[in-house]
Structure 1
Amino acid sequence: MLETFYDELRRCRVRCDGRPFVEHNADNEHDCVELECKPHKCKAMASSTVRQIHSIISGVLNAAVRWEWISSKHARIAQRPKQTPPHPDPPSPAEAARLMEKAFALDEDWGTLVWLVMTTGIRRGEVCALRWSRVDLDEGIVEIRRSYTTLRGVGAEKDTKTHQMRRTALDTEAVVLLREHLARCQQRYADLGVEWNADSYVFPGTRGNDPSVPYPPDAVSSRYKKMAKRLGIETHIHALRHDSTTELLTAGIDLRTVAGRLGHGGGGATTLRVYAAWVAAADRKAAELLGARMPKIKRND
């Protein structure tokens, strides 16, 4: 029965009947062109999602076996999709520089957002949910507690992916950029006749005149991808986390520190699994550094 259930999950994640229809990005009356509503295309549920569902069902059945409600755990019979090894593909240093230059040319607010994502490795939902009360510009620290998500045009805050709070240090230029960004935000609030407070979002949405609404994560991804495409670079916003990580690892920063900045759990196990190639590069650099400090061995000709 579970095998049949998993087969159903792989057919279409929307669970449609195969008939054509438009996927609307809002439930109420709206402009489909403005919200970019598109015709539905059947896509199978992601393998990772199927594995998560299997994990939940397996946990429930384990409890049922312990409580002697059932005699065996049927989830063992079901075949989960295999987990494909990750292949992070960060932009090259030259591409990253072009992306950053283009971002600031488009909009200083947008450039500041891209800079923050690139230098801290913060997730897109986390940067959208960031409030000024969580930014300490005097200490150069940003506190990441929440994430923002949208579903059919409705936004909501939730816990971070790992359900943990973390504090991440900012570089000197990031502090300067955020101070300038703060001044622009406060002026924008004043122009709109809205009272600014520390709980305001660092990056409010660009649509309408309501600065209390954050920048939607999907809009961040879409704008970044379009910007990169105009530059002839095939990449996405999440790759900036890869860029941040690879730069740190190849510079010799220890794995635990890198994992902490990314918000990875398991003491760096996730970071090691995803970025093993760059950990190896950092290890090679460490070996050469230690070898250079050793005395030269005299050899007989």
Structure 2
Amino acid sequence: MIINSYIKTTPPEYGQGIRLAVFQGQGPAGTKQAMQHNLNQLKSAAEVALSFGAQLISFPELYLSGYAVPPEQLYALAMSPDDEPLSQVAAIAREQGIGIICPYPERAEVAGETRYYDAITLFGPDGSLLKNYRKTHLWGPDEKKIWTPGYLYPEEGQAFTVHEINGFPVGLLNCYEAEFPELTRRLALNGAKLVVIPTAADESTKLSTGTWTSPAYPDIAKTLIPAHAWENELFVCYSNRCQGETLDSEPVGRYLGNSVIANPHGELMVAAKNEPTLLIADCIPSDYGPTHPENTDYLQDRRPELY
């Protein structure tokens, strides 16, 4: 595994920033054995990240189950945040004292029906569940067939909430949602200083029909991600898997391996190639001055009544 870091001698102080790690890996999908492999890998990656002083670590979209998995197998693996696999993640966070962003397939009773969500948990370093986020904007034919969009029903609460790790405000989005500028802006207006976006950005994946997607998914890591960081004056992380994903030893997905962390000046602090990598970066707003003279501020200068 490659270690790619942009860090200072010591991690950011409480309330001043956050040392963020991103695990970009590959592996099996779609079975309980694959899920246990991914849990073991999560624990190992968190240990390495912690050895570098990381305060929060992110994993790719649908990390526990794998992404390119037929619906019936995803549903068989789906769980609630209280179930055993995520209880193990909470225990790892608590034992190691590190925040963990762990995407997974969720099963929940909502509006009187069993529904399935492409979900992300955010655990604090004490193991508490700070957020269970359900993907709101679904991509492509398979996602819309497999998952329910999040936050259709009042009982689900608010989608775009912000939560503190190391006293630093963090928001979550999921994959395709990186391509909607309104969503990062919404989190910025809610006070986020870091937006983490687990993804499954691919070269090609096997659909439930048995066909492979074509052409390759466009690589937004070096375009939209820095742009959203710049226009919202915050840090944005795109957290992908790399190389291949297998189901019963057969390839089902090929991924771009384009994880990045961008700063408020729209610059990439760290970026991965298509290989197993741990990115680590200190996200400290005070390291970056205003993007315009005279303290011009995009968020303050908006005129939402016009749009």
TM-score grouping bracket, smaller chain normalisation: under 0.3
> 1 or 2 for the larger relative contact order (CA 8 Å, sep ≥6)?
2
Question: Quick check: which has more Rg, 1 or 2?
Answer: 1
Between Structure 1 and Structure 2, the one with more helix by share is 1
TM-score if structure 1 supplies the norm length? 0.21
TM-score if structure 2 supplies the norm length? 0.21
Between Structure 1 and Structure 2, the one with more strand by share is 2
